[in-house]
Amino acid sequence: MTARSDGAGGTPGRDAPSALAGVVERCGGLLYGGDYNPEQWPEQVRAQDLELMRAAGVNLVTVGVFSWALIEPAPDRYEFAWLDRVLDDLAGADIAVDLATATASPPPWLAHRHPETLPVTRDGRRLWPGGRQAFCPSSSVFRDRAVRLAGRMAERYADHPALVLWHVGNELGAHNAHCFCDVSADAFRGWLRIRYADDLDALNDAWGTAFWSQRVHAWEEVLPPRANPAIGNPSQELDFRRFSSDELLACFTAERDVLRRVTPEVPVTTNLMAMWVFRDADYWSWAPELDLIANDHYLVADDPRAHVELGLSADITRGLASGRPWLLMEHSTGAVNWQPRNPPKAPGQLRRNSVQHIARGADGVLFFQWRASTAGAERFHSAMLPHAGPDTRVHREVRALGADLARLAEVVGSRVVSEVALIFDWQSWWAVEQFAHPSVDVTYRDRVRAWHAALFDTHTGVDVVAPGAELSGYRLVVVPTLYLVDRAAVETIERFVRAGGTALITYFSGIVDEHDRVLPGGYPGAFRELLGIWVEEFHPLLPEQEVRLDDGGTGSVWTEHLHLCGAQAVATYSDGPQAGLAALTRHAVGEGAAWYVATELDDDARVRLVRRVLDEAGVRPVTRAPSGVEVVRRSHEQGPSYLFVLNHRDAMVEVDAAGVDLLTGAEVSGRITVPPGGVAVVREVDA
Ligand code: GLA
């Protein structure tokens, strides 16, 4: 059952504060390395791998992610000898191992013997093996086999000196997040019977089945939202998404539990995908189940502000880790292979991306993968060791990064502290992007990104938190398009504002309850009172349509017929369908204030508003910096703080700083100069 987190992004699992710290300690500093797939190479290649890894400062590699078919060539026949040698050699080279349970991609024999384990699409198509992750997450046959393999791995390597971390599966749900087969249908019914306490009336009520003759009279009649001739039931769809997230998580916990039984000292994680290409798991409910939070991140090549998106992904990951350090399990040294056009990273970009993740809380950066594959679907994916070998720009940058990370070792364990929280929610994301809404242009990721970017551009630190997270440590909370929200989360924001906090809430928030049923009586039902407004009617705009505001800004995408009832208009529409009505409002509540934004502001207007609200809330920037320069601070609870300066521009910049630049060893007294595309990390004096 989906558990909503009750803290700043949930609480990672057992010994969480020390799980990553333990790995870092064993590896002797910031973690550095990548996926290592030696099974793709003759054994003689390994000596060169190890030599180059050591020269690059690699201290951790992920092994075995896709080796199920080699480890278990037939059911219950295990061939561990080759893997023994790999781990022994790594241990001999003093390189630690994040050992995968190898269950990321089932071997061909599983589908051959048990075709019922293959996933089925919404329109009833069975997907075949030939790629990876061809399994139904609810399949008990798959889970039994996976747990059995994880158990065997644990027994085999429990005492191996290289083993420091378990890696369950790989990017769970990346290709098989939703399965609509009969096994899944059965599991969905079981999940619903728990959710609705075996009460079919409660399910009918939650799903609004009086509409379109959908009332079910027996559990057997309940189905996953398979392809249908019309528009599906949104509440059913939402529950199915929750169920699917829970099923993937259950694949993780089933393996984790057997690993914990055999190797209680070794932390267990899996690589999450808190980035824009993936939305199918509610990671707030996953985070407490992981011993440490690990994330994968890849840049979108044609995104001119990809570094801002990287910042958001890192902030979400830190939120999942409850503010604690986390591990970047994968990113790329250069091109990926799965976007339409895959350019390499520019010189210096690999370093800047890595240091940016560290700035935002990572205590390690790993890549996919060590040695570039020559065969298979990813043969044109970049690696730490390119096809052309070690005498290449990329590999030289990899070695240089290893040396840089050694210089940054003292940041390990320090934290990013922010005065601003941004509420982000996977469930609301699923709900707001359902079919048959007022406008297809109200997409969630873009809304969240835009507000996060405005904070980024004002050099303001921000924590990403779950709805319902404790807000008392913050001065400002930003709530972009939180369409679906429950009462408890609303009350947390109300309490925060009454106690003196500032909330900024944007349009199409607080519209439905947790079943995606509209809260009647004037929108936005959940936030009406807090905002001191009510909305009579939505009026989305057509593509290219813009409206002007009397403060000089413009709006697009959305307007609404808004009435004030307690709030004051901060800006009104000068033209368009709502001319003369409020577009921005502010409501003084208790000691604080709740702001509302009723349209999609242009970028400048958004940044202006953010500055104004930050000012009112008394939030100061991390430090003054030119635009296009990112500044982030990590601090030890008792000890120094570090100012990270990332120059995303192609010009030299200067930033106020005083202390020592850890990367160059130079004293910094008052100002630091950072070259185009460069980075600096200053241990601050008297921060
Ligand atoms: C994901 C996977 C890796 C690899 C990379 C390629 O992150 O986890 O196995 O496929 O993508 O970018």
pLDDT in tens, 219-255: 999 999 999 999 999 999 999 999 999 999 999 999 9
Task: Report which residue type is found at 43.
Answer: E
Q: HSE (CB half, 13 Å, CA atoms) of 102?
A: 24
Residue 115 is given by DSSP the state G
Q: Is the CB of 171 under 6 A from ligand 1?
A: yes
Place of tokens 């570090």: 642
For the chain, what percent of residues have pLDDT higher than 90?
A: 97
Q: What's the gap in Å between 378 CA and the centre of ligand 1?
A: 9
Q: Is the CB of 600 under 6 A from ligand 1?
A: no
Q: Is the CB of 368 under 6 A from ligand 1?
A: yes
Using only C-alpha atoms, the chain has a radius of gyration, in whole angstroms, of 26
Q: Is the CB of 296 under 6 A from ligand 1?
A: yes
Q: Is the CB of 309 under 6 A from ligand 1?
A: no
Euclidean distance between CA atoms 583 and 575, whole angstroms = 11
* Alpha carbon distances (Å) from 329 to 185, 297, 594: 33, 8, 38
Which one of the listed residues 72, 171, 255, 397 is annotated catalytic?
A: 171
Beta carbons within 10 angstroms of residue 320's beta carbon: 28
Euclidean distance between CA atoms 506 and 593, whole angstroms = 14
Catalytic residue flag (residue 378): no
Q: What is the pLDDT of residue 10?
A: 40
* Complete DSSP assignment for 394-410: HHHHHHHHHHHHHHTGG
Give SS3 for 563.
strand
Ranges under pLDDT 70 in the chain: 1-17, 277, 686-687
Sequence length of the chain is: 687
| pTM exceeds cut of 0.85 | yes
Residue 339, preceding peptide bond in cis (omega within 30° of 0): no
From-to residues of CATH 3.20.20.80 in the chain? 16-176+248-411
Q: Which atom of ligand 1 is nearest to the CA of 170?
A: 8
Q: What's the gap in Å between 215 CA and the centre of ligand 1?
A: 43
Q: Is the CB of 342 under 6 A from ligand 1?
A: no
Q: What is the pLDDT of residue 275?
A: 78
Q: Is the CB of 170 under 6 A from ligand 1?
A: yes
The C-alpha angle 41, 46, 49, rounded to 5 degrees, equals 105
Euclidean distance between CA atoms 37 and 387, whole angstroms = 14
Q: Is the CB of 298 under 6 A from ligand 1?
A: yes
Best probe residue, ligand 1, of 37, 338, 378, 382 (max atoms within 8 Å of C-beta): 378
Question: Strands of 600-601's sheet, edge to edge?
Answer: 547-548, 554-556, 600-601
Q: β-strand 502-506 against 476-479: which pairing, if any?
A: parallel
Q: What's the gap in Å between 300 CA and the centre of ligand 1?
A: 14
Which one of the listed residues 330, 397, 600, 630 is annotated catalytic?
A: 330
Place of tokens 């030299």: 652
* Complete DSSP assignment for 449-461: HHHHHHHHHTT--
Bridge partners (DSSP) listed for residue 165: 98
Dihedral angle computed from the Cα positions of residues 297, 375, 340 and 274, in that order, rounded to the nearest 10 degrees: -20
Identify the residue whose C-alpha is closest to ligand 1 atom 5. Answer: 368
Euclidean distance between CA atoms 96 and 59, whole angstroms = 6
Identify the residue whose C-alpha is closest to ligand 1 atom 12. Answer: 336
Best probe residue, ligand 1, of 170, 175, 327 (max atoms within 8 Å of C-beta): 170
Name the phi and psi angles at 680, rounded to 5: -145, 145
* Alpha carbon distances (Å) from 576 to 231, 564, 587, 602: 31, 19, 24, 16
Q: β-strand 568-572 against 629-635: which pairing, if any?
A: unpaired
Task: Report which residue type is found at 131.
Answer: G
Best probe residue, ligand 1, of 40, 296, 333, 353 (max atoms within 8 Å of C-beta): 296
Q: What's the gap in Å between 245 CA and the centre of ligand 1?
A: 20
Q: Is the CB of 66 under 6 A from ligand 1?
A: no
The beta-strand segments (E) located in 187-240 are: none
Q: What's the gap in Å between 509 CA and the centre of ligand 1?
A: 34
Catalytic residue flag (residue 171): yes
Euclidean distance between CA atoms 318 and 324, whole angstroms = 6
From-to residues of CATH 2.60.40.1180 in the chain? 629-684
Q: What's the gap in Å between 254 CA and the centre of ligand 1?
A: 23
Bridge partners (DSSP) listed for residue 646: 630, 679
Q: Name the fold adopted by 420-617.
A: Rossmann fold (3.40.50)
Which pair of structure tokens corresponds to residue 69?
A: 């078919």
Q: Which atom of ligand 1 is nearest to the CA of 330?
A: 7
Euclidean distance between CA atoms 207 and 223, whole angstroms = 13
What is the distance of C-alpha 506 from the center of its chain? 22
Q: What's the gap in Å between 481 CA and the centre of ligand 1?
A: 30
From-to residues of CATH 3.40.50.880 in the chain? 420-617
Q: Answer for the pair 132, 104: CB distance below 8 angstroms, yes or no.
A: yes
Task: Report which residue type is found at 164.
Answer: V
Name the phi and psi angles at 106, rounded to 5: -65, 150
Q: Is the CB of 330 under 6 A from ligand 1?
A: yes
Residue 600 is given by DSSP the state E
Q: Is the CB of 378 under 6 A from ligand 1?
A: yes
Q: What's the gap in Å between 368 CA and the centre of ligand 1?
A: 6
Q: Which atom of ligand 1 is nearest to the CA of 271?
A: 8
Q: What's the gap in Å between 566 CA and the centre of ligand 1?
A: 51
* Complete DSSP assignment for 411-441: GTT-EE--SEEEE--HHHHHHHT-SS-S-TT
Q: What's the gap in Å between 31 CA and the centre of ligand 1?
A: 19
Identify the residue whose C-alpha is closest to ligand 1 atom 4. Answer: 368
Best probe residue, ligand 1, of 171, 172, 272, 328 (max atoms within 8 Å of C-beta): 171
Q: β-strand 326-330 against 294-296: which pairing, if any?
A: parallel
Identify the residue whose C-alpha is closest to ligand 1 atom 3. Answer: 368
Best probe residue, ligand 1, of 330, 342, 380 (max atoms within 8 Å of C-beta): 330
CATH code assigned to 629-684: 2.60.40.1180
CATH code assigned to 16-176+248-411: 3.20.20.80
Q: What's the gap in Å between 167 CA and the centre of ligand 1?
A: 14
Identify the residue whose C-alpha is closest to ligand 1 atom 10. Answer: 378
What is the per-residue burial (b if ≥16 Cβ within 10 Å, else e) of 350-370?
Answer: bbbbbbbbbbbbbbbbbbbbb
